[in-house]
Amino acid sequence: MSKPKVFVTREIPEPGLKAIAEYYEVELWDKYTAPPYEVLLEKAKEIDALVTLLTDKVDCNLISSAAPRLRIISQYAVGYDNIDVECATKHGVYVTNTPGVLTEAVADFTWALILAVARRIVEADKFVREGEWYRKGTGWHPMMLLGLEVHGLTLGIIGMGRIGRAVAKRAVGFDMRILYTDKYRLSPEMEEKFNAKHVDMDTLLRESDIVSIHTPLTPETYHLIGEEELKKMKRTAILINTARGKVIDTNALVKALEEGWIAGAGLDVFEEEPLPPGHPLTKFDNVVLAPHLGSATWKTRTAMAMLVADNLIAFYKGEKPPTLVNPEVMKVRSPGWK
């Protein structure tokens, strides 16, 4: 047969595109912004495969109008809350993601936010850049921009998956105590290695100095952190989110920051992305904001593109894609075009 057609909804690193093009006829949406839903809906009807980002809404309407021709959706992200996976499975559509390859980059970025908030890096940069340091008239002052010392603190990790564990591993160097919540428990060896203790959410919130979220967005984790949870946190604690914005109730967080229930936050993800200018979260000096950059290193973004390609190529060859999200789909349809 001629090459199957794949629609790629945004520019991804070249090596991935090249690898895909060896097996598929690639159509690339080359604009910086996402294809509008209507465009995606139209495209989906004429393609065999789809490469999506978390900004593409792949709902049941789209999937059911694109199947049975559409057979695989290869998501360029570890999270796939933008895709109706249950519907895809029902229609025999394979869904893949990019776990593993971005773990270290996201853990690094989590730590960048922890340290930036604790040691007031962004405030300090502004202080120097805008001449405030100079105007103060002294090169050093015992009370200038004092922050929170991270060494030896208690780190609360909500969601001890690959990324949570990579964050925990880095915490060992800071001699921290770790409290974590997860459906699964680490092995006793790993708990010992990370100085980690499995606790309930209540204990984690009450005892942690830093709370970091590493859970996927699911109906269970939607607004997991709301008023009640924020009130349980220490007034000196900071909250970090590099997972999904919707895990936190934004209005509750704004209130918590306004009223000083917590000491600060580092946020890479938001309920609304892009965050509009003038959003209440932008008015706090003790909050560090980033535009969803967790996995944004050249190395990781390229590895993600290669994994997207590997999934499509395995499917093409009639093999199980390496990071298949919905293995049950294999009972509905075998991989490939035979």
Residues that bind ligand GLV (CB under 6 A): 54, 77-79, 99-100, 102-103, 161-163, 214, 294-295
- For the question of residue 272 being annotated catalytic, the response is no
Quote the least distance from Cβ 182 to ligand GLV, whole Å: 10
Q: For the CB of residue 285, give the shortest distance to ligand GLV in the complex, in Å.
A: 26
Q: Which is nearer to ligand GLV, 148 or 155 (CB)?
A: 155
DSSP codes joined into one string, 51-119: EE-TTS-B-HHHHHHHTTT--EEEESSS--TTB-HHHHHHTT-EEE---STTHHHHHHHHHHHHHHHHT
Is residue 290 a contact partner of residue 268, using CB atoms and an 8 Å limit?
A: yes
Q: What is the C-alpha to C-alpha distance for residues 179 and 191, in angstroms, rounded to an integer?
A: 10
Q: Are the C-beta atoms of 326 and 89 separated by less than 8 Å?
A: yes
Q: How far is the CB of 75 from ligand GLV (least distance, A)?
A: 8
Considering the candidates 292, 301, 319, 333, report the single residue annotated as catalytic: 292
Cα 142 from Cα 91, distance rounded (Å): 65
Q: Which is nearer to ligand GLV, 103 or 148 (CB)?
A: 103
Tell me 130's DSSP state: T
We find the least distance from the C-beta atom of residue 66 to ligand GLV, in angstroms, to be: 22
Residue 142 and residue 62: Cα distance in Å, rounded?
60
Pick 208 or 323: Cβ nearer ligand GLV = 323
Tokens of 141: 């002052």
In the chain, the DSSP E strands lie at 5-8, 25-28, 49-52, 72-75, 94-96, 154-158, 177-181, 196-198, 210-213, 238-241, 264-267, 287-289
Asked about 198 being catalytic, the answer comes back as: no
DSSP single-letter state for residue 211? E
Catalytic residue among 244, 301, 328, 333: 244
Instruction: Find the shortest distance in angstroms from Cβ 221 to ligand GLV.
Output: 13
Contact 46, 25 (CB under 8 A): no
Based on CB atoms, which residue is closest to ligand GLV, 204 or 307? 307
Q: How far apart, in whole angstroms, are the C-alpha atoms of residue 162 and residue 60?
A: 29
67/267 with CB nearer ligand GLV: 267
Is 141 noted as a catalytic residue in this protein? no
Q: Which of 130, 273, 319, 328 is catalytic?
A: 273
Element (H, E) at 20: helix 14-21
Among residues 4 and 321, whose Cβ is nearest to ligand GLV? 321
CB of 100 to ligand GLV, least distance (A): 6
Q: Which residues are catalytically annotated? A: 244, 273, 292
